[in-house]
Structure 1
């Protein structure tokens, strides 16, 4: 059984037992793994600890129970294995920003979400730590032609990125082959705004606003590979990158480019893609030469 199957079955096991104690020992035993390795695998695959995940799913399950109105908030708290009603209320407020009691009279858009899908990417074990597989590589300088725009993380940035990417693809002829690049840059400290370039290496000339030709410099990067939508794996990517920095003892670069996403097929932006994260190229120790 591969690691995807292990975690997928663990998520189903958890979902079916949200009204029962779900310690690391319980879930690891059900997965036929040591609790130490299961903890590392689960955290690496899901981008959060088992306890954090179980808490979020219990709160998710409470939404339907609250709206149904058949149980008191106290009964719901105990049914979902919260220690006390007050701990349930605090956790609900932290996750959703409202009191659970207000859900019965307002917030119709706050609905339960299904079991999350697992982000597909290769992983490896480094001295007992499970991390997303990565390679250190030089990103060769390239010239990209495409569309440049600004997004704000405080707004509906996913829709903005998808709509502008589609604008580019509408201008790309079916005969054009090769990769498509999405470059995220100029995210300033304490700011939620950053620039996005969606482009290809072919020289395309489009007489419309937002279209530019940009030179991307050579960069030393950590390279990761994922399947799925970058906009839907933010927390997992953050966790993968933080683990990579800690275990590899690398440092982020001060480049204005935050991330580069490369799809192998410009006509299939739902395919497997690669993430290049600029890091500092540390000098080689003279004793190791």
Structure 2
């Protein structure tokens, strides 16, 4: 079974049936799958339960209906299969911070969101649940030479990483090939800003500001693999990592390095890449 295509088909099915009753049983039956396996698979792939996803998409669909003044809020609530206007209003306010009535009157700019893409990564069954496939591995001390800068994960960090990658490549020998490292470190509490080093695992002497050679210390990590655009994985990685910690009973390591992203090909940042998240080395790690 192609899990990614299956979940993509599920998202299309949900989008086409938002005005009808939708339940886990009904959707699992439509795809001829056990509801228990379907629930675990959907939660692992999308980072939320099916019911939470359906609610979110119904609220998204309500935005354009609310702006149509011909429809009452009660009509909208029933069109989108909410039990009552009150339950619709509560859910809308939880998601958007304002009531549907205030949104209609004030014309708040809340954009419609398209259905999310399904991030491709391998899965595994662990302790009876489905999680993003991982391996426990130790990164040995390694020298990485590259350019240092800051990114804000709430902004367009993809273009910033690419621009600094090009700055480094322009200063390297044209024949340099192999992997490259994006090392995220020193994120402050309640902040989305990280210090970043984009570099290659060899010593390169570039006598310019912001170019450094650093020793990455030995780290024990959980290693995940993703395919596709680096912008797509933010929330999914957080969900994958949280599920991994809970189900595998691992603990995060107290280190300034938050994540290490390793691309197989420095010249192709759309290639498969690996994410290394530092964790504590426990006795049970040898058995996973």
Name the TM-score, length of structure 1 as normaliser: 0.89
Single out whichever of 175-184 and 153-162 deviates more from structure 2.
153-162
Cα pair distance change 1:226/1:156, threshold 3 Å? closer
Aligned: 1:245 with 2:245: yes
Aligned: 1:106 with 2:100: no
Map of 1:134 onto structure 2: 134
Report the alpha carbon displacement of residue 263 of structure 1 after superposing the two structures with TM.
Answer: 0.4
- Report matched runs for 1:61-140 at 5 Å: 61-104=61-104, 105-108=106-109, 110-140=110-140
Q: Helix, strand or coil: the match of 1:177?
A: coil
Residues in 2 aligned to 1:173 and 1:145: alpha-carbon distance in whole angstroms: 13
Cα pair distance change 1:144/1:248, threshold 3 Å? same
Report the alpha carbon displacement of residue 133 of structure 1 after superposing the two structures with TM.
Answer: 0.8
Q: Helix, strand or coil: the match of 2:21?
A: coil
Residues in 2 aligned to 1:186 and 1:6: alpha-carbon distance in whole angstroms: 38
Report the alpha carbon displacement of residue 22 of structure 1 after superposing the two structures with TM.
Answer: 1.2
Map of 2:6 onto structure 1: 6
Q: Helix, strand or coil: the match of 1:143?
A: strand
Cα pair distance change 1:207/1:115, threshold 3 Å? same
Map of 1:213 onto structure 2: 213
Aligned: 1:181 with 2:176: no
Report the alpha carbon displacement of residue 277 of structure 1 after superposing the two structures with TM.
Answer: 0.8
Name the TM-score, length of structure 2 as normaliser: 0.89
RMSD over aligned CA atoms reads: 2.4
Report the alpha carbon displacement of residue 187 of structure 1 after superposing the two structures with TM.
Answer: 2.0
Report the alpha carbon displacement of residue 167 of structure 1 after superposing the two structures with TM.
Answer: 3.4
Residues in 1 aligned to 2:107 and 2:209: alpha-carbon distance in whole angstroms: 42
Map of 2:236 onto structure 1: 236
- Report matched runs for 1:136-155 at 5 Å: 136-153=136-153
Q: Is contact 2:230-2:270 (8 Å) kept?
A: no
Map of 1:260 onto structure 2: 260
| Number of aligned positions between the proteins | 285
Cα pair distance change 1:66/1:173, threshold 3 Å? farther
1:45-100 residue CA offsets vs partner (Å, 9 max, x unmatched): 01111111111111111122223433222221221112222322232232233333
Residues in 2 aligned to 1:125 and 1:282: alpha-carbon distance in whole angstroms: 21
Residues in 1 aligned to 2:108 and 2:174: alpha-carbon distance in whole angstroms: 45
Residues in 2 aligned to 1:190 and 1:176: alpha-carbon distance in whole angstroms: 38
